[in-house]
């Protein structure tokens, strides 16, 4: 889907600027679900690039079970080594303390002032966004691309998403059929996309490893090898 120019974020007046997707997550570990949905977003929104951003200390996850960020970064690097449109950022590793998306987005806005930035997020995570630090500012700063995810429906429920935006973020969000997005007079648009439903999660991958089962074809081969060599996730408690 080519985004009509009027649906681009505020301040955009032509289609020549780079369109960059910021894909944040714990990636503990990265799996085929992450990679495939990123590919579909890249193609459908005609992005120039997707930057994977593993969080160092995610505020909403149990950090004592978190694999070292260096290892999570390396598994992303191994996964995208043949994908010229993908990059990985260690920005959250370089910042001390908790990882807040608002700080990451501000960082990319300052280093990429001319790019159109989109924050890529699965529906499960999006439905908890009103618990994130400075989430109102986030909606003013960056457009969102919300991906359907099994567990929260194989397809985006347009009414449910609109209801969530209106009750939890701002009642002025409206679905615009011409923009194919939820638009707001002051905030950035929110796009939805029905990616191919892939019921794969990092927790399912970790659980298989704990049970001494194979994760072949759920993670890239190089990641499977890395996990084995480093003995990651074995014997981990839930």
* 119: nearest Cα among 29, 9, 198, 11: 9
Interacting residues of 181 by C-beta distance below 8 A, sequence separation 6+: 7, 143, 175, 189, 190, 191, 192
Q: What are phi and psi of 216, to 5 degrees?
A: -55, 135
Q: Is 27 in the site for ligand ATP (CB under 6 A)?
A: yes
How is the beta sheet containing 116-122 ordered, strand by strand? 86-88, 49-54, 19-25, 116-122, 143-147, 190-193, 181-183, 174-176
- Out of 22, 156, 169, 200, which residue is the one contacting ligand ATP (CB under 6 A)? 200
Instruction: Find the part of the chain contacting ligand ATP (CB under 6 A) among 11-19, 23-31, 76-84, 86-94.
Output: 23-31
* 179: nearest Cα among 8, 10, 20, 47: 8
For residue 116, the minimal CB distance to ligand ATP (Å) is 20
For ligand ATP, which is the closer residue by CB, 12 or 28?
28
Contact letters for ligand ATP, residues 128-167 (x by CB under 6 A): -------------------x-x------------------
Instruction: Find the part of the chain contacting ligand ATP (CB under 6 A) among 2-10, 33-41, 83-91, 207-215.
Output: 33-41
The bridge status of strand 174-176 relative to strand 181-183 is antiparallel
Rounded Cα gap, residues 12 and 6, in angstroms = 8
* 29: nearest Cα among 235, 232, 229, 210: 232
- Out of 181, 198, 219, 232, which residue is the one contacting ligand ATP (CB under 6 A)? 198
Q: Is 34 in the site for ligand ATP (CB under 6 A)?
A: yes
Provide the 8-state DSSP code for 165.
I
Q: Is 125 in the site for ligand ATP (CB under 6 A)?
A: yes
203 with 186: CB under 8 angstroms?
Answer: no
Q: Is 223 in the site for ligand ATP (CB under 6 A)?
A: no
For residue 232, the minimal CB distance to ligand ATP (Å) is 13
Rounded Cα gap, residues 80 and 52, in angstroms = 10
For ligand ATP, which is the closer residue by CB, 21 or 122?
122
For ligand ATP, which is the closer residue by CB, 141 or 148?
148
Q: Is 108 in the site for ligand ATP (CB under 6 A)?
A: no
- Out of 9, 99, 101, 122, which residue is the one contacting ligand ATP (CB under 6 A)? 122
Q: Is 118 in the site for ligand ATP (CB under 6 A)?
A: no
**Residue 2, H or E segment:** none
- Out of 37, 76, 209, 219, which residue is the one contacting ligand ATP (CB under 6 A)? 37
Q: What residue ranges bind ligand ATP (CB under 6 A)?
A: 25-28, 33-34, 37, 121-122, 124-125, 147, 149, 195, 198, 200-203
């Amino acid at each position: 889907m080519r985004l009509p120019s009027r649906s681009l974020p505020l301040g955009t007046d032509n289609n020549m600027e780079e369109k960059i997707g910021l894909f944040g997550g714990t990636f503990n570990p990265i799996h085929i679900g992450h990679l495939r949905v990123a590919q579909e977003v890249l193609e459908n929104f005609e992005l120039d690039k997707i930057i994977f951003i593993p969080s160092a200390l995610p505020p909403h996850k149990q950090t004592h079970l978190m694999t070292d960020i260096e290892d999570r970064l390396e598994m992303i690097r191994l996964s995208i080594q043949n994908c010229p449109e993908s990059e990985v950022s260690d920005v959250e590793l370089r910042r001390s303390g908790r990882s807040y998306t608002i700080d990451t987005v501000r960082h990319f806005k300052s280093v990429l002032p001319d790019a159109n930035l989109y924050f890529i997020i699965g529906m499960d995570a999006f439905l908890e966004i009103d618990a994130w630090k400075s989430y109102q500012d986030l909606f003013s700063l960056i457009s969102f691309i919300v991906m359907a995810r099994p567990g929260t429906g194989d397809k985006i429920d347009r009414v449910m998403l609109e209801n969530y935006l209106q009750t939890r973020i701002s009642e002025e969000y409206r679905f615009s059929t011409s923009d194919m997005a939820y638009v707001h007079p002051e905030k950035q648009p929110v796009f939805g996309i029905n990616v191919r439903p892939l019921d794969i999660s990092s927790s399912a991958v970790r659980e298989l490893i704990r049970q001494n089962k194979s994760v072949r074809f759920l993670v890239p081969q190089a990641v499977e090898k890395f996990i084995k060599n480093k003995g990651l996730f074995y014997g981990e408690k839930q």
